[in-house]
Amino acid sequence: MTDSVSLNVIGTIDSPYKEKFAIPRQPGIVTAAQGQLRLTGLANNAELVRGLEQFSHIWLLFIFHGTQAQGWKPLVRPPRLGGNKKLGVLATRSTFRPNPIGMSVVKLDRIEQQSSQVILHISELDLLDGTPIVDIKPYVPYADIIENAHGGYAQEQPSSNIDVIFSNAAHLTLTDNIGHCPTLQSLIEQVLSQDPRPAYKKNSKDDRIYGMTLYDFNINWQMTAIATLNVIAIEKIVSITKSIE
C-alpha cells in the first residue's frame, strides 16, 4: 500500500467552454456542445482506440485542472440545493475533491487520424477547454444503466423553462458567422436555458449583465424577467499577433 499514485495524461480536450462559468453541471444536458479529444504522448496511437468506434458513448476520467490549485473542502454547497445547504463533498459532484478527478459520459461522434494525431470527435460534453484526460472507457448500456436507482437530492434533471431572446445585434453576429460556427445559436440557447448564474439567483430577476465565452465568442446577457433572458451582444474574439522584425 502507498499513500499516492501517479497518473499519466493520455489526452487533452478542445472544448467550446473557455471558462468555468456557464459550463453545464452535468453532461448530456447541452447537446449542441461539440469538442475534440486529442490523444497525447504514448497514448497517441490508433491501436489504443481500435474497436471504440462501435460504441455511441464513452466515459472520460479527467482532472479538474481549473480548480485543482484551490484545494478541497470536506463540506460543500450543492447548487441543486440552492447553494444554502452543506453536504459532504463525497455526497456531491463538486470539483473541490480530495483527488481532483472527474468523470463524464459523452457522445462519441467519430474517430479521426490526421497524420500522426488521433482525434476523438465528441459532443454533449461538460468539460473545460484544456481538460487533461487520464482514462477512456466505453459506455456499456446493460451495465451502466441501473433501473430503479435512487438519486437522492438529484433524482430528476432540473427543469429548463427560460426563454432565451436575441437582440438584433446578436442575431446579426450569428448570421455573419453561421458558416464558421453553425451550432452557435443552439449552444447559446441550451447553455443559458439552464440559468448558469449562482444558485441563489434562481427564479429571480437580475439587473446585472453577465458575460461568458463560447468557442471564440464573448456573449453578454441579462435576465429581463424571472423566466426571460436577453442575449445583448455576441462579439467575435480577434487574436492579435505581433510580428517581430
SS3 213: strand
For residue 27, give the nearest of 101, 82, 117, 106 by alpha carbon.
106
Q: Residue 1 — pLDDT band, cuts 50, 70, 90?
A: low
pLDDT score for 239: 65
Domain positions in the chain are: 11-153, 163-236
pLDDT score for 74: 93
* pLDDT above 70: percentage of residues in the chain: 96
- Measured between alpha carbons, how far is 26 from 7 in angstroms, rounded to an integer? 24
**Residue 214 above 90 pLDDT?**
yes
Mean pLDDT of the 84-110 span? 93
**Residue 203 above 80 pLDDT?**
no
pLDDT score for 245: 37
**Sign, CA torsion 208/230/158/65:** negative
Cβ distance 24 to 194 under 8 Å?
yes
Rg (CA), the chain: 20
Domain 11-153 adopts which CATH fold?
Elongation Factor Tu (Ef-tu); domain 3 (2.40.30)
Could you check whether 11-153 and 163-236 share the same CATH topology? Answer: no
CATH of 163-236, one of 3.40.50.12780, 3.40.50.12280, 1.10.3720.10, 3.30.2310.10: 3.30.2310.10
> Average per-residue pLDDT in the chain?
91
Distances 203 to 78, 132, 135, 156 between C-alpha atoms, Å: 17, 35, 38, 18
Provide DSSP, 109-170: EEEEEETTEEEEEEES----TTPEEEEEEE--HHHH--TT---GGGSSPPP--PEEEE-HHH
Give the model confidence (pLDDT) of 50-73 as tens digits. Answer: 999 999 999 999 999 988 888 898
Residue with cell 447548487: 79
Cβ distance 188 to 231 under 8 Å?
yes
**Residue 88 above 60 pLDDT?**
yes
